[in-house]
Structure 1
């Protein structure tokens, strides 16, 4: 299998610290509580022992880091790392305000920087799909892991198995002209949320990076993408593949906003429940061991 990597991670890092940070703050409800079923389930199935030292990769707002810190107890530590200093600042302040003394955070490019190990475990909830050079990042992560230590990461399965973003993408593609990253000066998130959907490819990446005992487990759950129909439409227009199509299209995307809103409302109307707009999602729970000393 030929895995081609682009080592420059500067564009995705800038995107996560600017435009994506702003959008994640706006739709934080979806991107923390909405995704928590995935991380809660994995953490329940593979609990960390008291006193463990855990690195949370791509920690974002730090909600999973704080959760891990509580689980490992005062003798353990949970450290969150993210490429975007803005996320790290929010996470650190909220850990302090929440009196989670054994949680701390730092900003780094996980692909290349010192990750301040060694750790007993590495964890990541949807934080590993955006590296320009994923094998280099996975190898750098492994170097921060104790021999025999375990990586557990959650990544999205195929976009077709994730209607919570894919249905909006299909809808927008019919209305807005699609512009590739190469055709614009706009920053972008990197390879994208479905870059690790292929189990065979990711297994090969992990093996090349020095891991063994690699396993994949499918997990499906519904996600609330908005408390109301309007919330769901705004979310789809701002984030995910649909939001990216609109953003990169520039003025052409703005000119078709009315058409997009009407089409998305029609798309989501059948998904509206008393608890909000709920859509199916599907992820891989991937675990692997540091097989090298």
Structure 2
């Protein structure tokens, strides 16, 4: 659950999924340095068979397809139909890579096949399982002997200024959010990697490795090079697409405008050379 009322499928097939689909190119650009770190660790080779969990709008699946070539295969799995629609359209515009297909699937129970893939990868898609133990056990069954799972998940909120700075600007405008349960689905579900290690081990994975990755991400750029235009662009990303958007889910236009103004002012000191750059801290986790 993302809260007490809606399931993950409902959440990602509703307005959030449609908003992310519209902002696909923006999100991919923001996460580009982290995506690069993920695939540097995965080390895909021609002919590999890849399962991309929480593939979203297809960026990571397309990168995998280019890496494994025509002799390989990539299956992208996600709950969100709006995001999968974007992913399929992108594949149609980029033919000739690996066998690449997408499926609407719940990783907890979908049959991906026994020992069907050599790599399971995920960019920020594995923190949202309602039943993490079931999902990881199911993914372990899909992984062939000698294969590996590699994923990115967020470190603590306090270590992620790209979220914490706009969040601090919005909090005075909205009711104080309830503290999430430590094991509830959400972006910071595995901020402490110890429970993730335990879940992977219990699901049958071995050789679990966890590396801290910190990169600057660009939240917004200015066409005219000005700090304010960059801050305004970054505020739009934070309020519409980042984790802060959850705080404004019920907000009407007047409150949303006030939030944009507050976040713009908070991000203005971080604008340099026509761009707002803030730190993003992740765990890069792999297991066999």
Work out whether the TM-score is over 0.5.
yes
TM-aligned CA deviation for residue 71 of structure 1: 0.7
SS of 2:7 mapped into structure 1: helix
| Structure 1 position 197 matched with structure 2 position 195 | no
| Structure 1 position 277 matched with structure 2 position 276 | yes
* Residues 85 and 107 in structure 1, CA contact (< 8 A), matched pair in contact too: yes
| Structure 1 position 218 matched with structure 2 position 212 | yes
Q: Which moved more, 1:122-131 or 1:220-229?
A: 220-229
TM-aligned CA deviation for residue 46 of structure 1: 3.3
**194, 210, 235: which is aligned to 1:233?**
235
**What runs of 5+ residues in structure 1 fail to find an aligned partner?**
183-189
Q: Closer, same or farther in 2 for the Cα pair 1:274/1:77, shift >3 Å?
A: same
| Structure 1 position 172 matched with structure 2 position 170 | yes
Q: Which moved more, 1:254-263 or 1:89-98?
A: 254-263
Structure-2 residue corresponding to 1:186: none
Q: Any idea what the Cα deviations from partners look like across 1:156-180, whole Å, max 9, x if unmatched?
A: 1111111101111122112211355
SS of 1:33 mapped into structure 2: helix
2:118, 2:265 → 1: CA distance? 48
1:21, 1:149 → 2: CA distance? 31
1:59, 1:258 → 2: CA distance? 31
| Structure 1 position 52 matched with structure 2 position 48 | yes
**122, 125, 134: which is aligned to 1:124?**
122
- Structure of greater relative contact order (alpha carbons < 8 Å, 6+ residues apart): 1
**What runs of 5+ residues in structure 2 fail to find an aligned partner?**
222-229
Provide TM-score, normalisation by structure 1. 0.86
**86, 89, 95: which is aligned to 2:82?**
86
* Residues 95 and 101 in structure 1, CA contact (< 8 A), matched pair in contact too: no
2:177, 2:254 → 1: CA distance? 15
1:39, 1:24 → 2: CA distance? 17
SS of 1:34 mapped into structure 2: helix
**145, 148, 151: which is aligned to 1:150?**
148
1:121, 1:158 → 2: CA distance? 27
How many residue pairs align between the two structures? 274
2:123, 2:5 → 1: CA distance? 19
TM-aligned CA deviation for residue 255 of structure 1: 4.8
Q: Closer, same or farther in 2 for the Cα pair 1:168/1:207, shift >3 Å?
A: same
Structure-2 residue corresponding to 1:108: 105
